[in-house]
Structure 1
Amino acid sequence: MNQRIFEHPILGKLEEKKQVTFTFNNNEYTGFENESLAAALLANGIRTLRYHEESGSPRGIYCNIGHCYECRVTIGEKQGQRACLTPLKEGMDVESGCQLLTSVKDWRAEYE
């Protein structure tokens, strides 16, 4: 289900880029090399990237500029990577962030 915009009403036809494949939760998708992983996931109809640490509610892309940490995923062996700041590469293996720990909350609890 490709939801990518290839021709914009104001910007016109978008420049063609090298297409690459990657996996998300063991499913194969395509995107453009060096676009953000978040953009590639959105273009493929993926909205849920992880689940809230306490409630388990689905979380997705919120700010898309690296401030909110809602788009954390696991890339290879590295947990907590922000999809909005990660350039897409050929063969990238991405998994849902599931319910990641939040070190900020853990740190705050020590001082309360």
Structure 2
Amino acid sequence: MRKRTVPRVSVTIDGRSARIRPGTSVAAALLEQGRWDFRTDPVSGTARGPYCGMGVCLECEVTVDGRPAVRACIERVREGMSIDTSAGEVGP
């Protein structure tokens, strides 16, 4: 019996390379990599992550390929994508 291989695409998450199944949401990709905190609220400084999972609440916003405020729960990964979760973090 031949083992079935699942195709993967290469993405960069906060400067680190990852191999993710194509068509996976950015949120699922981040969760798969052990990331629950997608950004830091610029006002309160609290960690934010997925909440509604359908693009309504905006808690999972990340920067994708230089585009800020992309909802990770509705954006799909693609080959070569760069995902940055540091946008919105409160500086020192």
TM-score bucket of the superposed structures, by smaller chain: 0.7 to 0.9
The answer to whether the 8 Å contact 1:17/1:33 transfers is no
Equivalent of 1:90 in 59, 65, 79: 79
**5+ long unaligned stretches in structure 2:** none
The answer to whether the 8 Å contact 1:65/1:85 transfers is yes
Structure 2 residue identity aligned to 1:27: R
Q: 2 CA distance for matches of 1:79 and 1:19?
A: 25
**Structure with the greater relative contact order (CA < 8 A, sep ≥ 6): 1 or 2?**
2
| Secondary structure of 2:73 counterpart | helix
| Secondary structure of 1:62 counterpart | coil
CA displacement 1:2-61 (0-9 Å, x = unmatched): xxxxxxxxxxxxx96421121111011121101111111111111111111211111111
| Runs of 4+ residues deviating >4 angstroms | none
TM-score (norm 1): 0.70
Q: CA RMSD in A?
A: 1.8
- Tell me by how many angstroms 1:94 deviates: 0.8
Count of residues in correspondence between the two structures: 86
Q: 1 CA distance for matches of 2:45 and 2:87?
A: 9
Instruction: Give 1:50's aligned residue.
Output: 39
Identical positions, percent? 33
Determine which structure has the larger helix proportion and give its number.
1
Equivalent of 1:71 in 49, 60, 70: 60
Structure 2 residue identity aligned to 1:87: R
TM-score (norm 2): 0.84
- Tell me by how many angstroms 1:81 deviates: 0.2
